[in-house]
Amino acid sequence: MTKAADHDPEIFQTVFNSANDAIIALDPSGSVLLLNPKAREYLDTHTDPIGKKVSELGVFEETTMANLRELFSETLERGKVETEMELFFSKGVSSWAKLSSAVMKDQKGKETGIIIHLTDITDLKRSSMELMESEEKYRATVEQSMENIYIYDVETKSIVESNKAIQDLLGYSAEEMKSMRASDFIAHDDRNIISKVEEVLRKGHAFVGERRYRKKNGELVDVEVSASRITQGKRTMLCVVSRDITERKRYQEQLIEEKTRAEFYLDLLAHDMGNLLHGIQNGISALEIVRSDPAMERRIISMVKSLADRSMRLANNVITFSRMREEKLDLERIHLKELAEGAFKKAREFFYELDIDFRNDVPEDLVIVCERMFEEALYNLFHNSIRVQENKIPVLGIRARRTPRGTKIEVWDKGGGISDDMKNSLFTRYSEVFKRKHTGVGMTVIHMIVARHGGTIMVENRTWEEGIEGASFMIWIPHLELER
């Protein structure tokens, strides 16, 4: 085109006049040599600019003229300059322009001036500035938001940006977050994370629901998450917003726990009180039969009185159980053999008509530091062992020994053992399996008391020499110290 224009001035004139850019040619002194229609429109001057200096046209404010003079000088010095400039007009308006200037030379190489291509980029610039302003507002909003926000790159699976809220929540700095992948702090497996990402990509926006994040210190925090698909250039991102619901979850769990505890105490009363009332009822019925035997009558009356006393103690124990979490351990030094004898005596009162073979093999000098309530755990074990046995003479016993870290206690019986399905739910509060065996919530009471002392309990089956199956409850409690 340039060579054609050199040989055909009409082609040059056509290209020059139809150009979308404003084109102005200036001589070395800064006077206008030539300009196309677009330049005349841009300058919007009522006088003919040819032969006049740009400063004489009165089109631009002085600040703009100073910038144009600097552009003119720089072009003569460097040969070519490209820049963007905001042009302020004398009539009080402004526009943005992209300026490309170059030195003009004649056929002998002599500089004859400069030519300037001026492209109006006002709309583009303002849109860009509005976008930048919008982004700044967005960043300020995100940064100051109380919600936890991060931007996730779908391709790299990395964190592109994060706000202060999530940085504070997780304990990472902004730079640390940028070097992380989502799987570094989302406490779910990769397959689960990928499925949630795919759901958001498919829907555009999705409520992900309750999730768990892992803090820098390893602590887990519950959050409620939603995410939206966004694009930055050709990259697909997810904007992930989460809210810390740890306190809400804790409150919900507390409500559930309190409800469960209330139901437990209700079952506790129904179970143990039912046993006591059953014993009292049997005693009263027996009194009608043995009126002619004063000794037996006195024995039964004593038993009924003891059962009534235990009913009162049960009510007090329910109150004690309800305070287990809040109250400190009320510890004392207790001879385990005597504690076991007392527990068996209470269990024996329910089965006065039976001959029971109880073997207390606890060493005489074995002393443990525990609450007096520990007797209730042994009582429940003895009571259940006797109740489930179908032998004419129930057989059960207790043995114990000290270890360097605690005391091991075994309560055993010859009652046929415990099935595997019963083992798995034996200490569960509402297990239908052991309700059928009439153990009620007694096993849960045992577990609560042992756990309160920092101990553990487990059950196994064992076979005795004569081939009889039986259950063996193994309790371990640590050595505790009395407060001074």
Per-residue H/E/C for 153-189: ECCCCEEEEECHHHHHHHCCCHHHHHCCEHHHCECCC
Residue with tokens 């795919």: 198
Residue 97 CA to residue 124 CA, distance in Å, equals 10
Given the structure tokens 């409690």, which residue do they identify? 477
Which ranges of 349-389 does DSSP label H, i.e. alpha helix? 374-388
What is the C-alpha to C-alpha distance for residues 472 and 466, in angstroms, rounded to an integer?
Answer: 16
CATH code of the region 137-244: 3.30.450.20
Domain with CATH 3.30.565.10 in the chain: 329-484
User: Could you tell me the sign of the dihedral formed by the alpha carbons of 158, 160, 166, 169, in that order?
Assistant: positive
What does the alpha-carbon distance between residue 427 and residue 136 come to, in Å, rounded to a whole number?
Answer: 59
CA distance 408 to 198: 54
Which residues have CB under 8 Å from 368's CB, separation 6+? 333, 334, 336, 374, 407, 477
Residue 81's Cβ-side half-sphere holds a number of Cα atoms within 13 Å equal to 22
- Owner of token pair 């938001």: 145
Using a 10 angstrom Cβ sphere, with 0-12 exposed, 13-18 middle and 19 or more buried, the burial of residue 159 is: buried
Instruction: Report DSSP letters for 319-341, one per residue.
Output: HHHHTTTTSPP-EEEEEHHHHHH
**DSSP labels for 125-137?**
HHHHHHHHHHHHH
Nearest to 361 by CA among 322, 412, 404, 310: 412
Contact between 457 and 475 under an 8 Å Cβ cutoff? The reply is yes
Q: Taking phi first (over 0 means left), then psi (-120 to 50 degrees means alpha), and beta for anything else, what does residue 102 get?
A: beta
**C-beta separation of 215 from 222 below 8 A:** no
Q: Domain 329-484 belongs to what architecture?
A: 2-Layer Sandwich (3.30)
Q: Integer distance in angstroms from the first to the last C-alpha of the chain?
A: 104
Nearest of 415, 417, 399, 411 to residue 461 by alpha carbon? 417
The answer for residues whose C-beta is within 8 angstroms of residue 261's C-beta and 6 or more apart is: 322
Beta carbons within 10 angstroms of residue 269's beta carbon: 16
53 burial via Cβ count (<10 Å: 0-12, 13-18, 19+): middle
CA distance linking residue 1 with residue 4, whole number of Å:
5
**CA separation for the pair 167, 426 (Å, rounded):** 45
- Where in the chain is CATH 3.30.450.20? 2-124, 137-244
At residue 224's C-alpha, the angle toward residues 220 and 229, to 5°, is 115
Residue 270 CA to residue 282 CA, distance in Å, equals 18
The reported pLDDT for the residue numbered 323 is: 61
CATH of domain 247-327: 1.10.287
Sign of CA dihedral 318, 320, 325, 329: negative
DSSP state of 481: -
Q: Closest Cα to residue 299, out of 312, 308, 290?
A: 290
10-residue stretch averages of pLDDT, the chain, 484 residues long: 52 72 88 86 78 85 89 90 88 87 88 88 75 58 69 91 91 93 92 93 92 93 91 86 88 81 70 79 84 83 79 65 67 95 89 88 95 89 86 92 94 86 65 40 77 91 81 94 76
- Report in angstroms the alpha-carbon separations of 348 from 272, 276, 339: 15, 12, 14
* CATH number belonging to the domain at 2-124, selected among 3.30.450.20, 3.40.50.300, 3.20.20.105, 2.60.60.20: 3.30.450.20
Are the C-beta atoms of 74 and 59 separated by less than 8 Å?
A: no
Q: How far apart are CA 215 and CA 243, in angstroms?
A: 14
Measured at the alpha carbon of residue 86, what is the angle toward residues 85 and 88, in degrees to the nearest 5?
Answer: 135
